[in-house]
């Protein structure tokens, strides 16, 4: 593939996004791809340089944090895009927005990454307490760019969750920015493990931009109040706007902290000599610096801030401290200083965790994302070029507002009350474990159910009466004289009958799920009335769930002997519907592996569900 990276600051490797762009480009080139770069001031083969775009006031503030904005040059951009298979955007700024429009005109698929967390902006504007400002920026970024992008790279499951919460309906591809193979445990045990016994210096490191939201101030305060303050040597590997303030703040420490931005080889040596790594950041899209340290076998202490993704790397509570609580940070630091053998043991466990975030794994997921981007682009073209597929897509999209409005009235006002009456009075339906529905309150879900009765779809519908299911029905059912009207009105979509329709079906269904719809699947396939044995599942439901990155909700219908009044008039078994906990795709796995993993977990859960 010929891929174009649009990254304003590619030439300045002082922030995580630029470093990640370099790593991804190097790895993609190794795998045979051509990667062009469109950025400020770049030169050389496959490099397309742009001038800086000056924005009054904004540029001054952004430059303090090593952020610059590229100036759109149609001639240079068109040259970079000519012959490209795909364009990948890194930020939501003006350059990227104009590049998106030009790519559309040139018929080139586009993907984007979400690297600029709104909290990074508001902290540096000194309005960190205004949550409304963060909500507004999420809205602004979505309006500017991301609502027009169907495939978005999220460096962590945390930021993917934040985007869903703020109504980003694109397909969210969650994979790490990747740690280089360069960061790995040392070949010989670190001499620093004997520091507690010998009375040597205790080396404590934090890597990252010296900025307000990174909270290096908490580490300085924690050390000031520590009984080991005379022995602790702090290292802050990075540069940023708060350097002078934090330097002044630490003047009364016995061992003045060392602030320095280091190249990879020197950073690696510093990590090796580190006893404990601290990541105190309040806001973090991923925390690649933290991963680099744990990949080298260092035990971290991480802030549990709900605005930071880094807390996901903590293996237990000993590596977490309450956001902003420097005394708790001090206690955790002193624990790890006083338990060197446990620190060595857990360091090995953290090194194993670090391998899951290796760049070689991430690059495979990025390639798969690019394949999905091109597949979606071709699907849209396919729909436009075929009248039959256009009509089929409309039936799945169900985007006729007036029709859907009346269908919803019919569904909730007539069908659901009537079906509740029928299912409870004639089939003795009972519903168990409804509390799990709170877990999917704000997300779409693929609901899977064992297919054991003609009315089991109605039982699923009445079990979640305030959300409208989408049912997959045979195309012939829509053509029936009277029943066809009800099939359509209840929100059914026609199953695909050809490979091209299948392609459109998955594409459109994925969009529905990302917009918080519920879709019911019978993974066993054909119905077997009153069957109590679970049959092997087909992969379709799990493919759709992984593709849309939504959970699978297990629903099992279990038979019980007629009880109460039912024993007087019902000879066949009554029904109990039981919910299982939602099962989420494992974002660390490659797509096919994630599908198989989700399918296996769903089979195990469905077999284990009982009254």
pLDDT cut 90: percent of the chain above it = 59
Does 196 map to a domain? yes
- pLDDT at residue 488, rounded to an integer: 78
Pair (575, 459) in one structural domain: yes
Q: Tell me the mean pLDDT in the region 64-72.
A: 82
Does 390 map to a domain? no
pLDDT band at 188, cuts 50/70/90?
low
Q: Residue 192: is its pLDDT beyond 50?
A: no
Q: Tell me the mean pLDDT in the region 228-233.
A: 93
Q: Phi/psi class of residue 530: alpha, beta or left (left: φ > 0; alpha: ψ in -120 to 50)?
A: left
Q: Supply the range of the domain harboring residue 231.
A: 191-348
Tokens of 190: 């670190």
CATH code for the domain in which residue 36 is found: 3.40.50.2000
Q: Tell me the mean pLDDT in the region 285-299.
A: 90
Lowest mean pLDDT among 180-189, 214-223, 360-369, 516-525: 180-189
pLDDT band at 448, cuts 50/70/90?
very high
Q: Is 152 exposed, middle or buried (0-12, 13-18, 19+ CB in 10 A)?
A: buried
Q: Residue 65: is its pLDDT beyond 80?
A: no
- Measured CA to CA, the distance from residue 71 to residue 55 in angstroms comes to 10
- Show Cβ contacts of residue 400 under 8 Å, excluding neighbours closer than 6 positions: 394
- pLDDT at residue 190, rounded to an integer: 53
- Using CA of residue 297, residue 300, residue 304, residue 310, what is the dihedral sign? negative
* Distances, alpha carbon 106 to alpha carbons 101, 146, 224, 371, 556, in Å: 9, 19, 59, 19, 49
Does 272 map to a domain? yes
Nearest C-alpha neighbor of 527 from the set 445, 430, 451:
451
Pair (142, 206) in one structural domain: no
- pLDDT at residue 338, rounded to an integer: 93
Does 33 map to a domain? yes
Q: Residue 131: is its pLDDT beyond 50?
A: yes
* Distances, alpha carbon 36 to alpha carbons 4, 29, 42, 109, 257, in Å: 5, 10, 11, 15, 40
Q: Residue 512: is its pLDDT beyond 60?
A: yes
* pTM, 2 dp: 0.84
- Measured CA to CA, the distance from residue 315 to residue 590 in angstroms comes to 23
Nearest C-alpha neighbor of 155 from the set 186, 181, 177:
177
Does 386 map to a domain? no
Residue ranges of E strands in 392-514: 430-432, 445-449, 469-473, 492-494
Q: Residue 290: is its pLDDT beyond 80?
A: yes
Element (H, E) at 582: none
Q: What is the pLDDT of residues 374-423, one digit of tens each?
A: 999 999 999 999 999 998 888 888 877 888 888 888 889 988 899 999 98
- pLDDT at residue 159, rounded to an integer: 92
- pLDDT at residue 119, rounded to an integer: 81
DSSP 8-state secondary structure symbol assigned to residue 226: S
Pair (207, 145) in one structural domain: no
The packing angle between helices 326-338 and 216-224, to 10°, is: 70
- Cα 405 to chain centroid distance, Å, stands at 32
Nearest C-alpha neighbor of 454 from the set 478, 426, 485, 481:
426
Does 322 map to a domain? yes
Pair (301, 326) in one structural domain: yes
Q: At which residue do the structure tokens 């010998």 appear?
A: 198
Q: What is the pLDDT of residues 573-601, one digit of tens each?
A: 899 999 999 999 998 888 899 999 999 99
> How many distinct structural domains can be found in the chain?
3
Judge contact between 158 and 308, C-beta under 8 A: yes
Q: Residue 14: is its pLDDT beyond 70?
A: no
How high is the mean pLDDT of the chain?
Answer: 89
Q: Residue 461: is its pLDDT beyond 50?
A: yes
Q: Residue 605: is its pLDDT beyond 90?
A: yes
- pLDDT at residue 456, rounded to an integer: 87
């Amino acid at each position: 593939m010929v891929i174009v990276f649009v990254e304003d600051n590619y030439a300045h490797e002082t922030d995580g996004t630029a470093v990640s762009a370099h790593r991804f480009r190097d790895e993609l080139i190794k795998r045979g791809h051509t990667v062009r770069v469109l950025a400020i001031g770049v030169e050389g083969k496959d490099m397309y340089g742009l001038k800086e775009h000056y924005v009054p006031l904004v540029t001054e503030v952004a430059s303090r944090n090593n952020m610059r904005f590229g100036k759109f040059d149609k001639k240079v951009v068109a040259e970079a895009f000519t012959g490209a298979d795909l364009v990948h955007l890194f930020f939501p700024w003006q350059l990227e927005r104009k590049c998106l429009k030009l790519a559309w005109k040139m018929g080139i698929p586009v993907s984007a990454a979400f690297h600029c967390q709104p909290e990074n902006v508001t902290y540096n504007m000194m309005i960190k307490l205004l949550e409304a400002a963060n909500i507004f920026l999420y809205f602004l970024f979505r309006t500017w760019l991301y609502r027009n992008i169907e495939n978005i790279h999220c460096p962590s499951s945390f930021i993917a969750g934040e985007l869903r919460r703020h109504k980003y309906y694109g397909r969210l591809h969650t994979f790490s920015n990747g740690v280089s193979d360069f960061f790995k445990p040392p070949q010989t045990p670190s001499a620093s493990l004997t520091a507690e016994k010998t009375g040597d210096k205790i080396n404590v490191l934090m890597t990252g931009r010296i900025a307000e939201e990174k909270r290096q101030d908490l580490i300085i305060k924690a050390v000031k109040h520590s009984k080991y303050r005379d022995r602790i040597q702090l290292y802050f590997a990075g540069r940023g706007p708060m350097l002078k303030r934090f330097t002044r703040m630490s003047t009364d420490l016995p061992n003045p902290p060392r602030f320095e931005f280091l190249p990879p080889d020197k950073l690696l040596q510093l990590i090796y000599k580190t006893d404990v790594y601290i990541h105190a950041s309040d806001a973090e899209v991923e925390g690649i610096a933290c991963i680099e340290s744990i990949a080298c076998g260092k035990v971290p202490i991480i802030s549990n801030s709900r605005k930071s993704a880094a807390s996901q790397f903590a293996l237990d509570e000993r590596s977490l401290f309450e956001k902003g609580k420097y005394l708790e940070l001090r206690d955790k630091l002193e624990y790890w200083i006083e338990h060197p053998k446990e620190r060595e043991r857990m360091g090995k466990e953290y090194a194993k965790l670090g391998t899951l975030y290796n760049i070689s794994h991430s690059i495979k997921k990025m390639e798969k994302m690019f394949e999905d981007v091109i597949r979606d682009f071709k699907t849209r073209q396919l729909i436009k070029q075929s009248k039959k597929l256009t009509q089929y897509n409309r039936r799945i999209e169900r985007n006729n507002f007036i029709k859907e409005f009346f269908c919803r009235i019919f569904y909730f006002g007539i069908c659901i009350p009537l079906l509740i009456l029928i299912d409870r009075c004639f089939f003795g339906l009972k519903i168990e474990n409804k509390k799990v529905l709170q877990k999917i309150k704000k997300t779409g879900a693929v609901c899977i159910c064992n297919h054991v009765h003609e009315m089991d779809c109605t039982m699923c519908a009445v079990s979640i009466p305030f959300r409208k299911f989408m049912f997959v029905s045979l195309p012939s059912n829509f053509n029936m004289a009277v029943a066809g009207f009800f099939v359509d009105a209840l929100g059914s979509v026609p199953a695909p009958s050809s490979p091209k329709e299948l392609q459109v079906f998955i594409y459109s269904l994925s969009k529905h799920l990302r917009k918080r719809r519920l879709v019911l699947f019978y993974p066993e396939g054909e119905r077997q009335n009153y069957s109590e044995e679970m049959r092997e599942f087909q992969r379709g439901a799990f493919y759709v769930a992984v593709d849309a990155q939504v959970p699978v909700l297990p629903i099992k219908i279990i038979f019980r002997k007629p009880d109460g009044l039912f024993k007087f008039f019902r000879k066949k078994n009554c029904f109990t519907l039981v919910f299982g906990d939602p099962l989420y795709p494992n974002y660390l796995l490659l797509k096919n592996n994630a599908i198989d993993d989700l399918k296996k977990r769903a089979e195990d859960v469905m077999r284990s569900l009982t009254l």
